[in-house]
Amino acid sequence: MYHLPVLKNRRTLLERGEKFISDVYFTDCNLRGRLYGDTCPLESITVFQTAKRIPYSEAVQQNFQPCKVGDSFGPTWWTCWFKIALKIPEAWKGKEVHLRWESDGEGMVWRDQEPVQGLTKEGEKTSYILTECLTENEPYSITLFVELACNGLFGAGQGSMIAAPDPNRKYTLQKAELVVFNSEVQELLTDFEMLLDIVKLLGEGEQRGYQALFTMNEMVNLCDPANPGTWSKARSLAQKFFSQKNGESQHIVHAMGHCHIDSAWLWPYEETIRKCARSWVTAVRLMEKNPEFIFTCSQAQQFQWVKDWYPGLFSQIQHFVQKGQFVPVGGTWVEMDGNLPSGESMVRQFLEGQNFFKAEFGQYCKEFWLPDTFGYSAQLPQLMQGSGISRFLTQKLSWNLVNTFPHNTFFWEGINGSLVLTHFPPGNSYEMKGRVEDLINTLKNNKDKGRANHSAVLFGFGDGGGGPTQLMLDRLQRVQDSDGLPRVHMSNPDRLFSELQADSSLLCTWSGELFLELHNGTYTTQAKIKLENRRCEALLHDIEVASCLALTQTAGFEYPTEKLQKLWRLLLLNQFHDVIPGSCIEIVVEDALEYYNEIEKTGSGLLHSACNALRTSPWLGAGSSPAFLNTLPWERTEVIALTEDGAQTKLALVKAPSVGVSPVTASAESVSTVSITELADGSVRMENGLLSAVLDNMGRLVSLILVQTNREAISDGCFGNQFVVFDDVPLYWDAWDVMDYHLQTRKPIVDVTRPVEVVSTGGLRGSVKFSLQISGKSSITQEVILDANCPYIKFKTKVDWAEAHKFLKVEFPVQVRSPNATYEIQFGHLQRPTHRNTSWDWARFEVWGHKWADLSEHGFGVALLNDCKYGYSVYQNIMTLSLLRAPKAPDANADMGQHEFTYAVMPHAGSFQEAAVIQHAYNLNFPLRLIHDVKVAQPWSAFTLNTSAVILETVKQAEGKKNALVVRLYESHGSSVSAVLSTSLSVQEAWYCDLLERPDTAHPASFTGSKISLTFKPFQIISLLLQLH
C-alpha cells in the first residue's frame, strides 16, 4: 500500500492512536465502539435481600421479589441474592456471548450450586462468559444466581477510602444483560494499548518508541472499525512489532498472578471469606483458559476458610496446586504483622501455616511472603530458617518516608546471623496490572542492576481481593520477548529464587531489622487489641506449661490439643497486618475483641483443668491451702495477692520455683519491707531497701535512687513519670501514622485533680494514688506501687480517654548517657540510636519493642517495663513509652473509653543482662497463677537452667505425638554460652528439632536422664523434642 510519508508530528500521531481506542471520545466510529455487538435483556431478574451472609443452599430457598436494572439495594454489609433467568437468542450462533453485569457491590455468579466467577466492577470484572462460540448443543435457557455483597472492593468508606464506613450506603445494579462480545476487537485494543504505552513510556529518547508510534499509526490506517475484514492486517503489524526480540542479556521479569487479600481491614473477617472465594474462583477460570497462568496465594487461614465454606472450589484449587498453577506461598497462618507478635506467636504462624500447606497440598512453602507489613523483625530470618524457609519476598519498605532502601535483591541477616535470600519486586507493588509501566519500573527501579538479572512482577488487583484479569495476561503475553522491554516469563517463586540464588555472588547483605519509616503509630493504635494480644500470648503459654505438667504428672490427663489449636489460630488470625496494628474498621475491632474473649474464656477453663489435674499428682494433693504455679524458668520471690477483692486484698510473699509449684509459706529469706513517708511539701517517699523514690504531689518521680550504689536515676531538675500529650495529625494514614513534627507539640500534663495520697502504707506493699486531668474530657488515675523485694516501681494506670488526634506518652528523663538504647524483640533484643545524626537515625523517632527497653551506660542503667505497650522512643537521655492515640479513621471511635495498663521503671547496677531486666519484664507479664484447695508439702520444679542467659520460652505437647513434649529455649543476652537444662520429668530421649518439630535424627541431644547439655550462639533458638516414658 502506498500513502504519503507521515509528518514529523509525534503528538498528533500519539493522540490519534489514543482516540482510536478511547472509551470516551468518538466511540461512534472508533474501534472501542465495536467491542460489544447486539444486546438482549434478561428474561427475568428477582432478588432476595438479607442482613446476613448466608450459604447458597439457604439463599435459594428464600422468597425472591421482582427487581430491575437501576434499582438500589443495601444498606452497607447486606447481601442481595439475584435470581436470573436468561435466554440466548438463536441468531447469536457462532458468537461469543457474555452476561454483562455492572454494580458497585462485589458479585459472585453461582451456577448449578457452585460458585463460578467473581464480578466486581472495581476489579475490572464485569463479564461472565456464557459461551465462547455459541453452538447448537449448548443450553440457550439458563438460570444463574448472583450473590452481591453490599460493599465495594475497599469497603464503604464515607468520603475517602480509609474513612469510617458509611452504614447507609445503597448499591445500584447498573447493568445486567446479554451481549455479543467481539474478542477480535479486544485483541486489537490490547495491541493498541500496549503500543501506546510503549510510545509514552519509552519517550522521545528511544528509537523503539518511534517504531511503536509508526506501527500504531499504520494500524489505524489499515483498520476500519466497521469492516472486520480489515482487522487481521492491523493485528499482524502489531505481532510483527512485538515479536522483534531482545538481546540475550535483557533483564528477566518473573510474572506471577497474585491477589493480596487483607484478612480483615475496611471490611470484616466474614466478608474476607467471600472475597477469597470470588477472587480465587476467578483465578481458577483463568487457569482453565490459560494453561501457562500461575497464581501465587498466601495465608493458610484463607485456604481453611475456603475449604470450610466452598469445598467444591477448594478441590478445584487442590487440582491446580498439583498442576503447579495455583501456588501456595508464605508458609504462615496469616500474613501477620512483622513487629508486634511475640517470638512464640511468630513460630506458631509458621507451624500452623506450614502444617496446613503440607497436609492439604503435600508440600511446605519454600518462601516467606509478606508484601504488606509495617516492618520486619530482625529475628525473622532465624524463624524462617527454622521453618524450612530460606527465601523472603516483600516490598513494603518502598513506602519509607525518609530513606530509600538500597537493595531489591540481597541477603538479609537476622540477629543471630541467619541469612535469607530476599527480593523486593522493584515495581514497588504487589498489585501490578501487567502494563508496560510495570515492566519499565521493574527495570529502572532495580537497585541491583548488574548483580541480579531477575525480578518479580506480581499482577492482579489486591488488598480487597480481585486478582488478575484476562486483559493482564493478554498484555504480558504480547511482550514476552519484545525488544526494548524486559523479557517476561510466566513464572513461580521457586523459579525466581532459584535463578537469583544461582547468580548471587554479587549480592549485598543487610544486617538487622527492616524498619519501615512509616506507620509508626501502629505500635500504639487500638490499645485494647494490643493488651489482649499480650495477655492471650501469656495465657496460652501458661496453659501449655500447666497442661504439660499435668500430662506428665497425672495419669489420665488429656492434653487439650484441638482446643489449644483453635485458640492459637484465633490469636494468630488477630495478628493479621491490619488487625493487631489497629488499622482496621470498628466492626473488625469488635470481632477481634470477641475472639480474644473466647481465648480468655475457654483458655481460663483449660488452665483451670490443668491445675485441677495437678491436684492428683504425687507431689500435690487435694487440701485447703493455696499454691502458686510459676510458668517461668527461674525462681521468683514476689508479693502476691491471695484474694483479689479490692480493699480486703491479702498479700503474701511467695518464693516460687522454676517452672513449678510452691505452697504459700512465708519466704525464708529475710526481707526488708516497704516504708512510705509523707513529706511536708506534699510529696511522698517510698523505700524497700532496693529503691528509694520520691514522688511529688502530682505523681512525678522527683528522685529514684538505687540504694545499693546510692545512684540517682532521674536527671537533675527533671521529672520521671511525666505524662505528656502531643497533637497527632498525620498526612493521611490516620490510624497508621505519627509524623516527626508531632514532637514539636509536646505538652506536659500538670493539672492535678487528686494529689498523691497513700493507699497501702507499707509492709509487703506500699502504694500511692493520684489523678490528673488531661483535658476537659480525659483523665488519668494512677497507683504507684512498690513491693517488698521488688527492684522496680510499678505504675498501675487507668485512663479515661476521649480525645481527637492526640497522642499520650509518659517520659522518664534519666541520668544515663549512651549512644544506643536497647529494645526487646522476638527471642532477643537490638539496639537503636538515641541521637539523630543521620536520616536513618532520625527517621526512627518512634520505634517498637516488646516487654522492655533499656538505656545503660557502663555499670548503670534504667529499664522501662510494660505489660501491653509496644511504642517507644529514647532520645538522648529521655526514655518515652507511648500509651494511647486517638485517630479517627478508619475507626471513628478508636481507643475511646477506659484503658488500664501497667508499666514499671527499674534502675539497675551493671548491665541489663546482669540485672535480670529480661527476667523481671517476664515476671511483670506472667503473674504467678493461684491454685486453690491443695495440699503441697514442698516446692516442686519441672525444669531448671543453670544460666540466666538462656530462657526456656515454651513447653508444649509435640505436634501429632501424644507422649512427647517440645521445649524451646533461646539465648537472651547476646552471648555464646553453655547451658544445662535439668528436668524432673520422666524423659526417655531428647532430640534437637526445628520449629516445625521435625527431629534431627542425626543429632540426639546430649542427655543423661535428667540433664541436657546445650551450647548457644547469641540469640540462638533451640527446640528439643522430649520423648516421655
Cβ nearer to Zn ion, comparing 372 with 824: 372
Cβ nearer to Zn ion, comparing 104 with 372: 372
Cβ nearer to Zn ion, comparing 147 with 262: 262
> What is the closest distance, in whole angstroms, from the C-beta atom of residue 272 to Zn ion in the complex?
11
Of 45-53, 136-144, 371-379, 738-746: span binding Zn ion (CB under 5 A): 371-379
DSSP 884-915: EE---SS-TTTT-EEEEEEEEEEEEES-TTTT
Q: Which of 634, 530, 653 is nearest to 920 (CA)?
A: 634
Buried/exposed code over 349-363 (b: 16+ C-beta within 10 A; e: otherwise): bbbbbbbbbeebbee
In contact, 73 and 170? CB cutoff 8 Å: yes
> What is the closest distance, in whole angstroms, from the C-beta atom of residue 765 to Zn ion in the complex?
46
> What is the closest distance, in whole angstroms, from the C-beta atom of residue 224 to Zn ion in the complex?
47
Of 258-266, 284-292, 398-406, 566-574: span binding Zn ion (CB under 5 A): 258-266
CA distances from 84 to 98, 99, 934 (A): 14, 10, 68
Strands (DSSP E) contained in 450-531 are 454-459, 487-490, 509-511
> What is the closest distance, in whole angstroms, from the C-beta atom of residue 260 to Zn ion in the complex?
6
Cβ nearer to Zn ion, comparing 578 with 971: 578
Q: What residues contact residue 171 under an 8 Å CB cut-off, 6+ apart?
A: 72, 73, 74, 80, 103, 104, 105, 148, 150, 151
Of 42-50, 367-375, 434-442, 897-905: span binding Zn ion (CB under 5 A): 367-375
Task: Verify binding: residue 262, Zn ion, rule CB under 5 A.
Answer: yes
> What is the closest distance, in whole angstroms, from the C-beta atom of residue 882 to Zn ion in the complex?
23
- SS3 state of residue 742: helix
Q: What share of the chain is helix, strand, coil (3-state, %, to 5)?
A: 25, 35, 40
How far, in Å, CA of 130 to CA of 287, rounded? 17
> What is the closest distance, in whole angstroms, from the C-beta atom of residue 120 to Zn ion in the complex?
17
Q: Name the active-site residue from 104, 372, 474, 891.
A: 372
> What is the closest distance, in whole angstroms, from the C-beta atom of residue 300 to Zn ion in the complex?
16
The set of cell numbers assigned to 356 is: 496446613
In contact, 887 and 732? CB cutoff 8 Å: no
Cβ nearer to Zn ion, comparing 396 with 475: 396
Which residue has the CB atom at the shortest distance from Zn ion?
Answer: 372
> What is the closest distance, in whole angstroms, from the C-beta atom of residue 152 to Zn ion in the complex?
16
> What is the closest distance, in whole angstroms, from the C-beta atom of residue 369 to Zn ion in the complex?
12
Cβ nearer to Zn ion, comparing 519 with 528: 519
Q: How many residues bind Zn ion (CB under 5 A)?
A: 2
Q: What residues contact residue 799 under an 8 Å CB cut-off, 6+ apart?
A: 774, 778, 779, 780, 781, 808, 883, 884, 898, 899, 900
Of 254-262, 657-665, 780-788, 966-974: span binding Zn ion (CB under 5 A): 254-262
How far, in Å, CA of 860 to CA of 877, rounded? 13
Q: How many helices (H) and strands (E) does the chain have?
A: 18, 56
Of 3-11, 255-263, 831-839, 966-974: span binding Zn ion (CB under 5 A): 255-263
- SS3 state of residue 770: strand
Task: Verify binding: residue 372, Zn ion, rule CB under 5 A.
Answer: yes
CA distances from 164 to 267, 337, 583, 853, 889 (A): 10, 22, 11, 34, 6
Cβ nearer to Zn ion, comparing 45 with 153: 153
372 an active-site residue?
Answer: yes
CA distances from 900 to 234, 418, 806, 867, 922 (A): 71, 38, 18, 10, 19
Helices (H), 578-735: 586-614
Q: Which of 318, 321, 326 is nearest to 297 (CA)?
A: 326
Residue 248 phi, psi dihedral angles, 5° rounding: -65, -25
Task: Verify binding: residue 734, Zn ion, rule CB under 5 A.
Answer: no
> What is the closest distance, in whole angstroms, from the C-beta atom of residue 275 to Zn ion in the complex?
12
Cβ nearer to Zn ion, comparing 371 with 828: 371
Burial, 513: exposed, middle or buried (Cβ in 10 Å; 0-12, 13-18, 19+)?
buried
- SS3 state of residue 21: coil
Of 63-71, 370-378, 594-602, 834-842: span binding Zn ion (CB under 5 A): 370-378
In contact, 303 and 356? CB cutoff 8 Å: yes
Cβ nearer to Zn ion, comparing 252 with 518: 518
Cβ nearer to Zn ion, comparing 262 with 532: 262
How far, in Å, CA of 971 to CA of 343, rounded? 13
The set of cell numbers assigned to 470 is: 484476562
Of 101-109, 262-270, 453-461, 699-707: span binding Zn ion (CB under 5 A): 262-270
| Stretch 691-710: interaction string toward Zn ion, x if CB under 5 A | --------------------
Q: Which residues are catalytic?
A: 372
Query: Which residues of this chain interact with Zn ion, rule CB under 5 A?
Result: 262, 372
